[in-house]
Chains A and B, each alone.
Chain A
């Protein structure tokens, strides 16, 4: 790992503190550093505990329920879903760690070669990915609790296999560029797991019905994913069928081989020169280009970037191009892409169309995902009628919805990104006269159009996609509408999060800021209650009330945050990343 020598840091820290203590002026100046250090410590503490709590909420819930008599197969299904989420998350993390300027920017000016930087990033990835092994270990130990000594050996062996396979698959998934955007899916998956757990422990009759209807999906997870094969093998081993060990060996070995090949390929492709776009730099002598003396007799080196002769300027053409740009109606990039984008554009007034240009200068992509989801769902149905196992067809439908329809809600908006600046990072929008309210209105309107467009697909998916026999139309429509309401209710929260990540709202001073934060946290925690209630109440009227409460609550949260944003309750500078 590329890390400072702790002894040297300790020695220097001691000397600096002695020097600071000796001077009243330096002591006064040091207050800023002390405050910053304390704030960093608090943020690290809170971040670590939030992470631990999130993990404990999911894994602890599953393990606790299993120990409390919950069906181990159901617990295993939930953990499989969780594993799929973590695999996607790790795939995004690999992309981020090994190919993004953001993660690698710190090495730009360091005399560190590709090999050292790769090793450093790999160790960061390995440390953060170990959690999954821990999850499976805890679950395995819970399963082994009633067994003998040998049963306790099963848990660590299968946990290692699960971790290896998941990381190997994550490496494989990085070939798919869109995997970077999957953070939201992970959050969704996590929320779903916790949500299902809450319901399970309450023994809701409605939930049990849905749970049984979802059997094909659970079965598909067990049959189609390597994690599912391992989970089944683990259950077999615990039941005394030793052939499960062979499966573990084969799948775990396959995962290890995948990990090995993936790591080698990643290492071979990893190049700081390519990422930063500068010329060759000699890896064996990284200091060569920093402080080496010039040899006057050496032949002149090739320039780092090819120098192109300047083209003569065609002023009339340039003038015409500028005029075209200024005359073009706002939101043109959005308008030209497809029918869904065109409808979204028509729903926006001119200022908001201009904001779309600002937020996403390359235009939005919605219709592509919509079409792909439709085609995949049609293929799933056709295959099912042709005799494909309903479990596999359900899996394909879930894949179509989760991988192509869901990502169109939210996604990556360039204008909501932040940029690194002294003392933290600042959102793009903070530098320009752009208001939170108007940006939020754009996001909500565009996503409302997308939600309406998604409704027919959801109805079809609910009716034909997941159950052994088609659901009645009314029931399918009811589930689809409830899903759309949940998606719409999540949009304001997503807008708050998008602005919040570029601010210091969680550490802003003053009791009003703290009160606001508390209100937001309580509000966000309350939302799932209405969401769960809306899905499982029988009466249509009550569902409508829950939907209204859900939408009202989430929009209220956005309005509250927007009010605080406009009243300067906090800075638009996020504290620097602690890693």
Chain B
């Protein structure tokens, strides 16, 4: 999905959670959004999901203006917060079936894809357990399995690497994100873990006080020295320093 953000601004009173963010993302990219706490990462993801209304600016998905009322566009994206939204009394299977219906992806042959995803995520033995009895990581896996079943064109993941996923779950997430991007989907995730953002992204966006402070392509990241004043870590540290 081609994504265009024009001067996206979200203000709360005089404070700006997002301040004129402009970005164009061609399909098939994995984008890491990094920034200090309160920089505006989650607000950006919520704007893209239609939960938060931008004060100014515009979002276009494949050239079409995105608004909350555009259910057809909303069916093409899925937002996964770090604590996913699940009905505690439903089982993983029931949750998956419900999600497929809401997203209108209840097509033939989806069963095998679901079972494969559950198998990869070690959820088969827990497929019929109520979601409320699962651990945080298992619940995230159940929500992620729904994402894999729905196969959205825009993945919006808020802190997926701090969501309680075990190493196997993280590996599956990365593998499927790469596969989805290769198939033309856009994957946008927020993180605080520099090492992951550095290695697992086609584009790294640094948000600072609501502004898109810097962007690094995969090639630019690869060219940065691992240590020293020009390293990514040192470049990001400047955002903490008080301005003169």
Contact = CB atoms under 8 A, between A and B. Distances in A.
Interface of A: 23-26, 28-29, 31-32, 34-36, 38-39, 310-311, 313, 315, 318-319, 321-323, 325-326, 330, 354, 357-358, 361-362, 414, 419, 421-422, 426, 428, 430-435, 438, 508-510, 565-573
B98 A435 contact: no
B85 A358 contact: no
B198 to A, nearest CB: 25
Contacts of B51: 426, 430-431, 571-573
B141 interface: no
Interface in B74-128: 74-75, 79, 81, 83, 85, 87, 89-90, 93-94, 96-103, 106, 110-111, 114-115, 124-125, 127-128
B97 A325 contact: yes
* Most B Cβ at <10 Å: residue of A24, A357, A568: A568
A25 B242 contact: yes
Given A32-B13, A326-B110, A431-B49, 6 more contacts: A325-B93, A430-B50, A432-B99, A433-B103, A573-B46, A573-B51
Q: Which of A311, A322, A354 has the most CB of B within 10 A?
A: A322
A358 B125 contact: no
B243 A313 contact: no
26 contacts: A24-B243, A26-B242, A32-B15, A32-B17, A32-B38, A34-B14, A36-B12, A311-B125, A313-B124, A313-B127, A315-B115, A318-B115, A319-B111, A322-B93, A325-B93, A325-B94, A326-B110, A358-B102, A361-B94, A362-B89, A419-B85, A421-B83, A422-B42, A431-B81, A508-B53, A509-B13
Given A24-B243, A35-B15, A321 B68 contact: no
Interface in B48-87: 49-55, 67-69, 71, 74-75, 79, 81, 83, 85, 87
B211 interface: no
Given A32-B17, A313-B124, A361-B90, A326 B68 contact: no
A426 B52 CA distance: 10
Nearest to A426: B51
A364 to B, nearest CB: 15
Contact of A326 (B54, B81, B90, B106): B106
Interface residues of B, number: 51
B213 interface: no
B242 A318 contact: no
Contacts of A569: 53
B19 to A, nearest CB: 11
B11 interface: yes
- A38, A438, A571: most-surrounded residue (chain B CB, <10 A): A571
B106 A32 contact: no
Given A24-B243, A414-B87, A419-B85, A566 B68 contact: yes
Contacts, number: 135
A354 B102 contact: yes
B178 interface: no
Most B C-beta atoms less than 10 A away, residue of A38, A39, A414, A433? A433
Contacts of B38: 29, 32
Given A315-B115, A430-B51, A31 B124 contact: no
A319 B115 contact: yes
Nearest to B53: A568
Q: 10 closest pairs, A vs B, by CB? A: A566-B69, A35-B13, A32-B15, A433-B74, A568-B53, A325-B97, A31-B15, A433-B75, A25-B242, A313-B124
A572 B242 contact: no
A363 to B, nearest CB: 12
B74 to A, nearest CB: 4
B115 A361 contact: no
Contacts of A36: 12-13, 15
B108 to A, nearest CB: 9
B29 interface: no
Contacts of B67: 566-568
Contacts of A326: 97, 100, 106, 110-111
Nearest to A312: B125
B69 A435 contact: yes
Contacts of A31: 13-15
B114 A310 contact: no
Contact of B12 (A25, A35, A354): A35
A433 B242 CA distance: 42
A544 B100 CA distance: 45
Nearest to B38: A32
Contacts of B125: 310-311, 313
B68 A568 contact: yes
Contacts of A32: 12-13, 15, 17, 38
A510 B125 CA distance: 51
Contact of A571 (B42, B52, B103, B209): B52
Nearest to A350: B101
Contacts of B103: 432-433
